[in-house]
Amino acid sequence: MIPDAAAGPHWHCLSDADTVCAQAAARILDAAACAIDERGCFRMVLAGGRTPEKVYRQLAGSDADWTAWQLYFGDERCLPADDAERNSVMAATAWLDRVAIPADNIHPIPAELGAGAAAQIYAAVVKAARPFDLVLLGMGEDGHTASLFPGHQHPPHEVVHAVHHAPKPPDDRVSLSRESLSDAHDVMVLVTGAGKRDALQQWQAGDDLPVAQITARNGVTVLMDAEACD
């Protein structure tokens, strides 16, 4: 998976959401094998929301060398640590509780402490982890990614942001910055469903959406289903 960074995103329109998720899981396993072979470990940033859940379930069925995986989160909702709406709980339920990955290899954002405190704590974690091998992202119907929302301003060069008044509940969130999400060998964005069509067209037309501001050393790969890209 080595697209040319200068060429902008590499768009892949696939038949349906299941195919997107199957291909995403295969690409993640490939990226992990390469990273572990070259660098001895695989540092991946997980996406939240619903789209990646099927990908995580597929990964739960593979026999990867999980001890070499280090997992981080692109964003988190400021909810109790065991709240079903947390991105960390979704990933644990679909995948991480089902495989032999050491607990110390999973780095949740302590968003239960509140956005400001969690952002400060997680900035040190991110600084120690960058550059990431792979950043997995979703995209909202307004072109947001992680918890970077259109119209929201954040201090430049911040590693992790405290997010307030988010248009997608809950109000308070924590998000890796554009710079942190882009400090990666590869970025893969999953976009499925007719609801994403408008934002996808705006992105492809060159609109300056938050998702469009993410880059990667080897370029950004976008896996879309026909409902989103036709």
User: Contact at 8 Å (CB) between 209 and 143?
Assistant: yes
Q: Is 138 in the site for ligand 6PG (CB under 6 A)?
A: yes
Window 158-217: residues binding ligand 6PG (CB under 6 A): 168
Binding ligand 6PG (rule: CB under 6 A), the pick from 21, 42, 49, 212 is 49
Name residue 165's amino acid: H
Nearest distance from C-beta of residue 49 to ligand 6PG, angstroms: 3
Instruction: Say which residue the tokens 């490939």 belong to.
Output: 30
70 vs 147 by CB, closer to ligand 6PG: 147
Show the tokens assigned to 186.
């590869």
34 vs 57 by CB, closer to ligand 6PG: 57
Binding ligand 6PG (rule: CB under 6 A), the pick from 31, 91, 146, 189 is 146
Q: Is 87 in the site for ligand 6PG (CB under 6 A)?
A: yes
User: Residue 166 belongs to what H/E stretch?
Assistant: none
Q: Distance of CA 63 to CAs 42, 67, 98, Å?
A: 15, 11, 11
Residues present in the chain in total: 230
In the three-class reduction of DSSP (H, G, I as helix; E, B as strand; rest coil), residue 228 is classed as helix
Binding ligand 6PG (rule: CB under 6 A), the pick from 39, 50, 164, 217 is 50
Name residue 25's amino acid: A
68 vs 147 by CB, closer to ligand 6PG: 147
Nearest distance from C-beta of residue 30 to ligand 6PG, angstroms: 22
* Phi, then psi, of 166 in degrees rounded to 5: -65, 135
- Per CB under 6 A, the segment of 16-24, 30-38, 44-52, 199-207 that binds ligand 6PG is 44-52
Closest Cα to residue 175, out of 98, 99, 122, 211?
122
Q: Distance of CA 35 to CAs 52, 96, 219, Å?
A: 21, 20, 16
- Per CB under 6 A, the segment of 21-29, 41-49, 94-102, 198-206 that binds ligand 6PG is 41-49
Residues touching ligand 6PG: how many (CB under 6 A)? 16
Contact positions vs ligand 6PG (CB under 6 A): 47-51, 75, 77, 87, 138-140, 144-147, 168
